[in-house]
Structure 1
Amino acid sequence: MDFQPDPGLASFRQEIRHFLEQHVPADLKGLPRSTRSPRHQVLRFQKLLHEHGWGAPYWAAEHGGNGWSLPEQLVFDEECVAAGTPTQDGFVHKLLGPVLNAFATSEQKAEHMPAIVQGERLWCQGFSEPGSGSDLASLKTRATRDGDHYVVNGQKIWTSYAHESDWIFLLVRTSTEGKKQAGISFLLVDMKTPGITVRPIRSIDDCHHLNETFFNDVRVPVGNLVGEEGAGWRITKFLLNNEHSTAAELPALKRYMRELLQFGAAQRIGGQRLIERPEFALKLTRLDAELQAIGMMVQRVAKLEMEHHPDSLTLGSMLKIRGTELQQRITEAQVEALGDYGAVAYAHPHDPAPDEPYPLQDTARGIANDMFFRRASTIYGGTSEVQRGIIAKLLFQL
């Protein structure tokens, strides 16, 4: 494929950049690094996008979205990350949204789509369970039909942002007959429903974004079932197969590299800038070469996705592995580049600023947290081991 810059894409990038510069308030830009921005910032930014006509940047026009191409979506993500705007609710925009567009009833769409686009409702994902690991088919959370309701009992774990969410999309077992994949269904559940308990899990970065979520005789209307009973596995495969080109989190990688360059230019050892030291320059060059290769691969996968080519599945898993491993190496290099400051001075992105300013304080704040959080990037979204199994299986079929 042709990797030359697209003039039309450059114009689109300028349009996005102009909007972010001129229409997004200063207090919603240059925000501290974080796994996801606080709830009030996420909703406020979403409402701002909606007012500008950009409330659904990842959906097709026929579904009420912007109708942007995959390359345009990637540009939008890159510019938002570069500007430091709040992170969007990726669970609903990139995962649940396409599912609702493809499988939901008209009543379900009328209930949820306006609230999503207008920034009135946040979602979380209820897939993983204790003891199940990446084997979603082994889930045990049960939904038993009782008249016009399902009665849900069970437990989910690693439920990101459940404590801030209004609704959850949930995989449940509605049957034990036949193959274990055949008895799974897909439910939408209001988090205010009696019987739901959310308990925090503090992760290695000392932040609270993970939870364990318990369901004790939770009554869910049958009308909240997406698709038919037993279709949950098929719907989940559709959900997980969407947007492989985003698996490497390229905008975050580019931000990390820009920051690492800043650190190298600003830090000095024995009067010499860090970037002038051969060992650091070599490390920087190797990391940048890998980043450039991933960037080209993202373009290739995006093109294959637009063509609905099956190779996008294999390459998407490859991107997930290489991209997340590179996240870990670059964030480690960032902390190393700042020396003692990296490990101590920039502990938490939302801590008050220290009384005595540190070098690169605004850029590097929260850097240790980010490095710790990225230890999990080769686990969440499908572990590297699972991705390698997917690659082997798909290549064997070829």
Structure 2
Amino acid sequence: METITNLIKDTPIPKMVKVRQNFDKTCIPESDIPGIITRELDRPEIGGKIQPGQKIAITCGSRGINHNAVMARAIVDFVKSKGAEPYIVAAMGSHGGATAEGQLQILKDYGVTEEAMGCPVKSSMETVQIGISGMRHQPVFMDKNASEADGIILFNRIKPHTSFRGPYESGLMKMMAIGLGKQKGAESIHHQSPAIMHELVEEYGRTILENAPVLGGIAIIENAYDDTYLIKGLSPEEIISEEPKLKEISYKTIAHLLFDKCDVLVVDKIGKNISGDGMDPNVSGRFVQPKYCSGGIQAEKCVILDLTDETHGNAQGIGLAEVTTRRLFNKMKLEMTYPTGVTNTFLHLMKIPMIMDNDREALQLALMCCPEAEDHDHMKMIRIPNTAHIGVIEISEGMLPLVENNPNFEVLTEPYDLPFDENGNLF
């Protein structure tokens, strides 16, 4: 790497400024969450169907949800209050390395354990065929543990998807079609044309609603600061009619960078707990299938520095960047990363970008290789912790004119040099 180091060593790294992006801070306090979930479930259309002694499966996925364990426990407690027997099932497609143990570990990381929940937590990759899809006549699979329940309560966050657009994106319908489908069900959908993904999610989800004892679900919307914005209980019929409306609300509440473009976007960490693609393209602008999705910032170069601990070495999404670090590469576990790619067929998500020995060199390489930059003396660089937390970000000094006197921003510091340690890494 000495040759590359010599080529880029004189590339200046711009001074940075810390700024706050101002979004709607409306949220539900954690203390109010159990009561709201109880109220939403305690309707004749949902909780009224639960009978004493019934076995009720509660789905938990791999997406990071704020207060995940608090919400799951509230659903468990509600089921118990009806005299029924709850248990939690891992509903996350092929995530966790497509193994039962890997998916159980993901739930544990979120605080969803048998001790914390007060009920069994079941994880298996075994599925059963629950029905035949209505339009395309394809077999639809569902988690065996869930299929053995007398009733199923879905629990998931509603948000824009990262690779397709449609009435139902990330939410309860997709959790049924792909999450409960486990690796086998997820593969059967992903191995069909990406152009019809939105149709397949609805078709397979409806098939499960028609053939499995789904009682309803708890849908969560978060605000731009990752706090709980809305909790809504939906009956099976309301999943069909109301989830698309909730999705539209989520488009208005999600975080996004309040800039149209930059030269270099630096993302400190990616991970499956942040987004299905490691980093949310609705923020980064790096879409898996740009033919079917668009949005986010337009960055000429993207640098990814590290992985979250919660992703357990799954570096899916690394292929959407041009530059990364040896630190990340050393943490990447192929046995965790590759199964998701085999399932969703997006193999380019696993490609390895140029690997630099440290953070400084990664930034210098990206900055040097921006031929379309308008002004190399005032490079536009943005650094974010991850795509889920962009309330406070860093921007290069050359971007200050874009935020001064802008009510959507608050400048928090004077320009400063990025702090690198003796190994050239940021701290």
Name the TM-score, length of structure 2 as normaliser.
0.25
Q: Which has the higher helix share?
A: 1
Q: Which has the higher strand share?
A: 2
Higher relative contact order (CA 8 A, sep 6+): 2
